[in-house]
Amino acid sequence: MDWDANKITPIGTDLSVAKELLLQGQPVAIPTETVYGLAANALDDDAVLRIFKAKNRPHFNPLIIHLPNWDAMKKYVAEIPTDAEILAEKFSPGPLTFLLKKHPVTANFKFLIPDLVTAGSQKVAVRIPAHPLTRALLSMLDFPLAAPSANPFGYVSPTTAQHVFEGLNGKIPYILDGGPCQIGLESTIVDFDNQQVIIRRQGGVSVEEIETALGKKVLVQTGVEEHPVAPGQLKSHYATSTPLYLGRSKELISQFSSKKIAVIAFGKNMEGIQADFHFQLSETGDLDEAAKQLFSTMRAADAAGADLILAERLPQIGLGQAINDRLQRAAQEMK
């Protein structure tokens, strides 16, 4: 059964409605502390296909599965490295996703993550989200929820129920409203290879925090989102419809003097710049606040009616690295 596309998608806080729809194999938007996810039963291929359909994804990227706690998670993975245990102790529930070996096909089918979810990989991405409403929902279910960010393919990730509505109204049967996301950036993805810990995507937990928790250096090898099944299709991710340029704002302002320009500032980094629209990630230059505001600010700048959006890179420390990564991927390539 597919959702009737002529209906308006309701936004609400009713966990039993969400549960009922998920049991029927329907996708439901759920709040997390990072971004809103578009969730469906991870063990049901048809349910997972409805996620791809609603998001209009051109190909099947692997999806993160969400579980209520670390114990529930253990049922779905074949082994857990010590470093993963240490990180889970410190950051789960929270914005950290673990790439762990999944069970072989010979395992009990109840705990087998389908190839559609992992895109054929031997590893599955698992996360325990921290949002209370979604944790309550997950503990009412006896299956994990596969959930990518709840935005149409390629667009800015949603950090409010209203953002989800703007992108997916009529395409999904329910949006569970948990208020604005507390972190505002997707989870950090960590991988484990023998004794080596590898960051595959920067996100809500910074590299420094991970290194401190482990007491050792980690490798940063991001790119899981740039190397999809069909190469070259993902040049821009997290993109605004209005072209966004990253860096050299002063120079670009004079080059595009006849255009309507929106700037996304961080603290005082756009001081003295004459633009038609000014947006601010954090007046005081606070990186956590900037992370939380990033996607709503990108959406607001996109809606302002400007011809282009200018932003500068933030300091490459803490969440600044993950923010720069998202801005870079939203941005036009500059020669």
* Interacting residue with ligand TXA among 189, 199, 294, 314 (CB under 6 A): 189
At 331, list the tokens: 């941005």
* Interacting residue with ligand TXA among 9, 32, 282, 297 (CB under 6 A): 32
Nearest to 193 by CA among 213, 225, 226, 221: 221
Minimum CB distance to ligand TXA smaller for 124 or for 156: 124
- Map residue 155 onto helix, strand or coil: strand
* Least Cβ distance, residue 151 to Mg ion (angstroms): 7
* Least Cβ distance, residue 95 to ligand TXA (angstroms): 6
- Residues 55-94, interacting with ligand TXA (CB under 6 A): 61-64
User: Is residue 34 a contact point for ligand TXA (CB under 6 A)?
Assistant: yes
At 38, list the tokens: 């578009």
User: Is residue 321 a contact point for Mg ion (CB under 5 A)?
Assistant: no
For residue 74, count other CB atoms closer than 10 A to its CB: 15
* Least Cβ distance, residue 187 to Mg ion (angstroms): 10
Rg (CA), the chain: 20
For residue 139, count other CB atoms closer than 10 A to its CB: 12
- Residues 146-175, interacting with Mg ion (CB under 5 A): 149
x/- site string to ligand TXA, residues 141 to 160, per CB under 6 A? ------xxx-----------
At 172, list the tokens: 């999904």
Residue 72 binds: one of ligand TXA, Mg ion, none (C-beta under 5 to 8 A by kind): none
The whole-angstrom separation of Cα 161 and Cα 178 is 7
User: Is residue 97 a contact point for Mg ion (CB under 5 A)?
Assistant: no
Residue 124 binds: one of Mg ion, ligand TXA, none (C-beta under 5 to 8 A by kind): ligand TXA
Nearest to 311 by CA among 239, 247, 257: 247
Nearest to 207 by CA among 122, 65, 56, 87: 87
- Identify the H or E element spanning 176: strand 175-176
Minimum CB distance to ligand TXA smaller for 249 or for 293: 293
* Exposure of 111 in the CB half-sphere (CA atoms within 13 A): 14
* Least Cβ distance, residue 326 to ligand TXA (angstroms): 11
- Identify the H or E element spanning 54: helix 45-55
Residue 97 CB contacts under 8 Å (≥ 6 apart), including other chains: 64, 125, 126, 127, 187, 188, 189, 190, 201, 203
x/- site string to ligand TXA, residues 273 to 312, per CB under 6 A? ----------------------------------------
- Residues 216-235, interacting with ligand TXA (CB under 6 A): 224-225
- Residues 157-186, interacting with ligand TXA (CB under 6 A): 186
Binding site for ligand TXA (CB under 6 A): 32, 34-35, 37, 61-64, 97, 99, 118, 121, 123-125, 127, 129, 147-149, 186-187, 189, 201, 224-225
